Amino acid sequence: MTTRYRVEYALKTHRRDQLIEWIKGLLAVPFVLHSQPTAVYQEDSEKLAGVASDTHQRYAEIFRDVEGLLNDHIEHESTKAAGKSKLRLLVPPVGTFFTKLYLEEAFKYQDQQRHISRRRFVAPSFNDVRLILNSSQLLGLVRTRGLNLVTFDGDVTLYDDGACLAPDNPVISRIIRLLRQDIRVGIVTAAGYTEAAKYYERLKGLLDVMYSSTELTDEQRSGLIIMGGESNYLFRYDPSSPHKLTYVPREDWILEDMKAWEEDDITNLLDIAESSLRACVKNLNLPVSVLRKDRAVGVYPEKQGQLHREQLEETVLVVQNTVERSSVGSRLPFCAFNGGNDVFVDIGDKSWGVRACQHYFKNIDASRTLHVGDQFLSAGANDFKARLASTTAWIASPAETVQLLDELHSIQKTLV
Ligand code: IMP
Ligand code: MG
């Protein structure tokens, strides 16, 4: 039994978000006790409305209590007594929150959108809680100190996996709106290229609209940067360049701590990662090619969809484990992740990428920064590390990113 439990634990915890699972567990109780899944034909609409309002009340109370625990956690962290946080006792992996989260209000908003408390057969789900957390974070950002920087992941967040930002992508007008509000924008992607032409190819839709827009000032245009390879290559918007982007030399933007990353260590870490990837290719008979770059190494198949989830996950966990256990793995930050169709190991991670963007824009604070991404599981996911550097929103598709930015806009309007 113990062995089975431990195996399950080791294999599954990284696929669950502990805070979300815990909140789901709390909501399951009123769901079971109040939602009354009786036969639909026996009910009149008045009775249904009564049940829903009762359930809504109970869910709202839970979110109010969790919000209280979060405030207490923030308080303890700020007084360097994080160990005394009750939330940390209940959910040990819980991290740092850079702003308050308005959970009760966010629940009421999402309940209007998703009719969570009207459901009698489907309990509050992972996605319900994820979206409530996102809404509460937007409220927290706008009401705490305001928003100065939004960083976006690329694949799945701005465009479909492996696709490009096409001119008709609805996210473009939302990004322009942020820039017009003098909010800075960084695209912090794992896609690591050293040439501006490659990023232009991926982001052409946005860069062309920025170029021809009459709504933006030059200062606002300079508020767009691209951070590639997680935290390795910085490009800034530049209308005079043929690809509308200019490479910013590393010495102009790297953080103090990044100066200690030795070239020998980088090569050494990538060598270890590469041989571990090659061993997986052999062992699992993966139909892939190995790609080695100066700051990354990865495997990718010829066509989309050739690798199944289990192959991708096994590979990422093996490589992560191998590099972690090496001595260079403890000196140098790296990020092994499942890109949905490929597996990559990059030097650095998105916490460094987001921090470098904050630094580039003259030290924007974590509490004024939002990172939007789709990969927030604790292993094999590359947006997860951004939680160390900024507030975050976890989206599941490019359409959700658009919704999130529209929600942000309506919250901003209520403040004016
Ligand atoms: P993201 O979702 O924007 O972070 O992009 C991740 C995807 O970029 C990966 O799944 C790869 O397909 C692709 N990619 C291209 N070059 C690199 C690299 O150097 N490191 C990691 N991923 C890369
Ligand atoms: Mg992504």
Q: What is the CATH number of the domain that holds 379?
A: 3.40.50.1000
Q: Are residues 243 and 135 in the same domain?
A: no
Nearest ligand atom owner, CA of 339: 1
Residues of the chain with pLDDT under 50: 1
Query: pTM for the whole thing?
Result: 0.95
Cα 190 to averaged position of ligand 1 atoms, centre (Å): 4
Mutation probe of ligand 1 site: the residue of 189, 266, 344, 385 with most atoms within 8 A of C-beta = 344
CA-closest candidate to residue 206, choices 185, 242, 175: 175
Predicted confidence at residue 80, as pLDDT, reads 83
Residue 408 lies in a domain: no
Residue 409 lies in a domain: no
CA 381 – CA 343 distance, rounded (Å): 10
Cα 272 to averaged position of ligand 2 atoms, centre (Å): 25
Q: Are residues 211 and 71 in the same domain?
A: no
Predicted confidence at residue 371, as pLDDT, reads 98
Predicted confidence at residue 83, as pLDDT, reads 79
Predicted confidence at residue 22, as pLDDT, reads 97
Q: Is the CB of 344 under 6 A from ligand 1?
A: yes
Q: Are residues 59 and 139 in the same domain?
A: yes
| Active site (annotated) includes residue 153 | yes
Q: Are residues 211 and 106 in the same domain?
A: no
Predicted confidence at residue 1, as pLDDT, reads 46
Cα 291 to averaged position of ligand 1 atoms, centre (Å): 12
Q: Are residues 89 and 153 in the same domain?
A: no
Q: Are residues 126 and 207 in the same domain?
A: no
Q: Are residues 107 and 241 in the same domain?
A: no
Residue type, 356: A
Residue 192 lies in a domain: yes
Predicted confidence at residue 11, as pLDDT, reads 58
Predicted confidence at residue 81, as pLDDT, reads 81
| Active site (annotated) includes residue 208 | no
CA-closest candidate to residue 382, choices 164, 206, 157, 203: 157
CA 183 – CA 146 distance, rounded (Å): 10
Q: Are residues 121 and 162 in the same domain?
A: no
Total domains in the chain come to 2
Active-site position among 155, 342, 349, 374? 155
**Which residue's structure tokens are 């209308």?**
239
Predicted confidence at residue 82, as pLDDT, reads 74
Cα 197 to averaged position of ligand 1 atoms, centre (Å): 16
Q: What is the DSSP letter of 363?
A: -
Residue 412 lies in a domain: no
| Residues of the domain holding 175 | 146-399
| Residue located nearest, by CA, to atom 10 of ligand 1 | 339
Residue 164 lies in a domain: yes
Predicted confidence at residue 2, as pLDDT, reads 53
Residue 249 lies in a domain: yes
Contacts for 173 with CB less than 8 Å, ≥ 6 apart: none
Predicted confidence at residue 378, as pLDDT, reads 82
Q: Are residues 308 and 164 in the same domain?
A: yes
Q: Please list the alpha-helical segments (H only) found in 79-225.
A: 86-90, 103-114, 126-144, 171-180, 196-212, 218-221
| Residue located nearest, by CA, to atom 17 of ligand 1 | 191
Residue 308 lies in a domain: yes
Tokens of 48: 């249904």
Q: Are residues 175 and 288 in the same domain?
A: yes
Pairing of strands 343-347, 334-338: antiparallel
Cβ-contact 411, 138 below 8 angstroms = yes
Q: Are residues 131 and 150 in the same domain?
A: no
Q: Are residues 332 and 260 in the same domain?
A: yes
CA 300 – CA 289 distance, rounded (Å): 6
CA-closest candidate to residue 188, choices 219, 223, 156, 234: 234
Residue 235 lies in a domain: yes
